[in-house]
């Protein structure tokens, strides 16, 4: 059935939904069917400027609001996110393509960031020292930056915006969110929930757009901090541009996450973990396992045989199909990119164990691919070196744990990594020597819980901020240290030219 009337997406600026004045716009698709479902406006420089101006005014008032009152809004917001999980999950499925159950899991993970932000009164506490010398007391306070921005990706339309923004709001900043133009519905729904929770107008804003809109935001003089998630190429560009304009930047990029499987591992457990972590969300996760790395030929033979049986039975499907293991890719362009990666791996000599290029799905017009698995992949191949953001995964055999560690440490990306083993000695060596930001032991996807810091190393992150966790409070605040003295009324005044000391 062809869609003849498209939804018109709006911006959310200063507490109101705004159509926008730009003549530039893009289309939003339902990945499961391949149909256009909406048009999304791309904000002009003038609209960005006006949004930030209004956000700056709101930030000044919000910063003076007691932290208790700010947290009360977050409590209500959390309640509404929880109550509307089903509706949010359907929106995510509609615009992103992931299954409803997967979307609900992501929303729950996003709520962990709200839980942490609710603890802002404790996190914002400073330090205090009495009589550091000369009857002087010293103390520190954390103050919000003002207006900050989060530029979020298509693959987690709710979880990532929640992870990136809730602490920023809790500590007293105003937020300008630029969601991926591919998934604008969820951001506007979150706007409704913030408004319902009582957040003052202007503290939370959503502007839609493309790279031109992003550039207008990150170069604006009143944007103080930038949090970004996307590809490494764009993350590095965001970091360079933002820091050039004196912004605080945390830009999170690509990943090529390895799972090392030791010969002593529970092989069935490792295979099940790999299949779910590698192909969930159609592999459109920056923390997805991209490479299985069995140690030793025997382990590789056993792992490949067992994995093949699991992978070939995986079922892609529409987001509302409860029997589907994973949904569609975000776009036809994304699908073609994965197909090119598969063809390249074949040409370079990798062996295709499971070929998912022609899946059986109900709607052939959707952006669907089945699960593809290669073995005999070597570190020189593009399939190993480059992030493939779709369901094509590699098996690379290592001769020893030392070689596995060396290969992973030599890789350009350092987002996540995990090891499956029954040896505490192997696990300890691995966690100590590996040069990756997030590490798992017998854990399929080593993404931390919301009250621990999230951040990769090497080409997976630019800047020192975290996406979520306690360090986000530091990222979105400035620390001010005060030395304070109240002399007695009869204290004699004298000039001292010595450097002050205790």
β-bridge pairing 25-30 and 35-41: antiparallel
β-bridge pairing 289-294 and 257-261: parallel
Residues contacting 434, CB < 8 A, separation 6+? 405, 408, 409, 417
Separation CA 360–CA 45 (nearest Å): 45
Separation CA 293–CA 400 (nearest Å): 10
For residue 13, the surrounding DSSP H or E stretch is strand 11-13
Structure-token pair, residue 60: 């000044």
* Distance from the first to the final alpha carbon of the chain: 79
- With contact defined as beta carbons under 8 Å apart, do 40 and 327 qualify? no
Separation CA 127–CA 143 (nearest Å): 14
How many Å separate Cα 331 from the centre of its chain? 19
Nearest to 118 by CA among 195, 56, 197, 178: 197
Residue 143, strand partner residues: 478
Separation CA 258–CA 435 (nearest Å): 12
Q: What per-residue string of b and e applies to 217-228 under the rule 16 or more CB within 10 Å gives b? A: bbebeebbbbbb
Residues contacting 123, CB < 8 A, separation 6+? 116, 171, 470, 473
**DSSP one-letter string for 416-440:** EEEEE-S-HHHHHHHHHH---SEEE
Q: How many residues does the chain have?
A: 502
Q: How many CB atoms lie within 10 A of CB 105?
A: 16
286 in active site: yes
- With contact defined as beta carbons under 8 Å apart, do 330 and 97 qualify? yes
Nearest to 25 by CA among 7, 49, 13, 12: 7
Mark out the alpha helices in 200-282 (DSSP H runs). 211-218, 232-244, 267-279
Angle (CA) 47-52-58 rounded to 5° is 130
Angle (CA) 477-479-485 rounded to 5° is 145
351 — phi, psi (to 5°)?
-100, 125
Mark out the alpha helices in 250-312 (DSSP H runs). 267-279, 297-311
Separation CA 322–CA 428 (nearest Å): 40
Catalytic residue among 235, 286, 288, 338: 286
Separation CA 180–CA 478 (nearest Å): 28
- Which are the catalytic amino acids? 286
């Amino acid at each position: 059935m062809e869609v003849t009337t498209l939804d018109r997406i709006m911006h959310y600026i200063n507490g109101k939904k705004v159509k926008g004045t730009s003549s530039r716009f893009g289309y939003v698709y339902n990945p499961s069917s391949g149909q256009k479902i909406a048009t999304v406006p791309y904000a002009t420089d003038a609209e960005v400027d006006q949004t930030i101006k209004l956000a700056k005014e709101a930030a000044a008032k919000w910063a003076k609001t007691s932290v208790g009152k700010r947290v009360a809004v977050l409590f209500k917001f959390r309640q509404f996110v929880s109550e509307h999980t089903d509706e949010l999950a359907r929106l995510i499925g509609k615009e992103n393509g992931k299954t409803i159950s997967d979307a609900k899991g992501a929303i729950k993970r996003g709520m962990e960031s709200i839980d942490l932000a609710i603890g802002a009164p404790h996190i914002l506490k400073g330090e205090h020292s009495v009589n550091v010398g000369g009857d002087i007391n010293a103390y520190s306070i954390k103050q919000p930056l003002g207006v900050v921005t989060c530029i979020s990706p298509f693959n987690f339309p709710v979880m990532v915006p929640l992870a990136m923004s809730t602490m920023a709001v809790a500590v007293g900043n105003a937020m300008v969110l630029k969601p991926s133009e591919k998934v604008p519905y969820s951001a506007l729904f979150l706007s409704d929930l913030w408004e319902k929770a009582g957040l003052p107008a202007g503290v939370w804003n959503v502007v839609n757009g493309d790279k031109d809109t992003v550039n207008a935001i990150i170069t604006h003089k009143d944007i103080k901090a930038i949090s970004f998630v996307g590809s490494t190429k764009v993350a590095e560009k965001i970091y360079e541009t933002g820091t050039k304009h004196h912004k605080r930047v945390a830009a999170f990029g690509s990943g090529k996450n390895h799972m090392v499987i030791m010969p002593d591992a529970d092989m069935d457990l490792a295979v099940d973990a790999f299949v779910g972590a590698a192909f969930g969300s159609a592999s459109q996760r920056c923390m997805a396992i991209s490479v299985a790395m069995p140690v030793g030929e025997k382990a590789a033979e056993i792992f490949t045989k067992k994995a093949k049986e699991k992978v070939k039975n995986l079922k892609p499907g529409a987001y509302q199909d409860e029997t589907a293991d994973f949904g569609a890719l975000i776009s036809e362009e994304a699908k073609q990119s994965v197909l090119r990666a598969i063809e390249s791996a074949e040409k370079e000599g990798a062996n295709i164990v499971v070929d998912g290029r022609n899946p059986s799905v109900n709607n052939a017009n959707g952006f669907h691919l089945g699960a593809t698995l290669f073995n005999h992949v070597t570190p020189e191949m593009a399939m190993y070196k480059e992030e493939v953001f779709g369901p094509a995964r590699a098996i690379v055999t290592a001769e020893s744990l030392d070689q596995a560690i060396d290969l992973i440490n030599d890789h350009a990306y350092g987002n996540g990594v995990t090891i499956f083993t029954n040896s505490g000695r192997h696990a300890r060596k691995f966690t100590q020597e590996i040069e990756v930001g997030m590490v798992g032991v017998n854990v399929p996807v080593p993404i931390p819980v919301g009250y621990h810091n999230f951040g990769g190393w090497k080409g997976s992150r630019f800047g020192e901020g975290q996406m979520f966790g306690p360090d986000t409070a530091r990222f979105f605040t400035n620390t001010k240290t005060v030395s304070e003295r109240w002399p007695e009324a009869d204290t004699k005044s004298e000039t001292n030219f010595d450097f002050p000391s205790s």
